[in-house]
Amino acid sequence: MRPPLDNLFTGIISSKTRIKLLIRFFFNPKTRAYLRELAKDFNVSTNSVREELNQLSKTNLLKSERNGRQVYYTANQEHPLFPELKSMVSKVMGIDQVIDGIANRLGDLDLAYVIDDYAEGKDTGIIDLLLVGDIDHYHLNDLSRKTERYIKRKIRSLVLSRDEFETMKPRLRHRPQLLVWKKQNAEES
């Protein structure tokens, strides 16, 4: 059994703000955010966020781009450590374990998305999953309960058949989403 992951980053990185920034930018690398937005989301001062953004920018882990008065930050996907950091963040959030369990044990899964807050890299404590395929609901609930205890986050799942997914696509496009698993030959939204 793997060691608990809730303290993986805290054992390496002492700044809680830096950990939150790594999660925000490396879980979904398309995430863009600016200083005040991050300070508000993390409920910390702009000075503490600014200091960490500066450190991560100096090491080229983050890129910045000015747009009017705002400076937007994103993960630097060309950085040599990018794949490893992205993988570590997924492990810390527990997404890898959830998706592996679903894909390997719960039926005929076509697509799996993380939606809403976590798709934007916001670690709110509730992971919203959209699962498309023929899924065994009983085993999904059992796996979710066991995984929740391990990763210390709540898992909410929306399970749709392939036809239901096609019908709901227009409404789902307006919600943040991140494809985290795809069966070969499955069609994305």
For 125-134, write each residue's pLDDT tens digit: 898 999 999 9
The model's confidence at residue 46, banded by pLDDT at 50, 70 and 90, is: very high
Classify the phi-psi angles of 108: left when phi > 0, otherwise alpha if psi is within -120 to 50, otherwise beta: beta
Residue 57 near residue 42 (C-beta atoms within 8 A): no
Task: Give residue-wise pLDDT tens across range 62-114.
Answer: 999 999 999 999 999 999 999 999 888 877 777 776 777 777 777 788 998 98
| Domains of the chain, first to last | 8-86 (1.10.10.10), 94-182 (3.30.460.10)
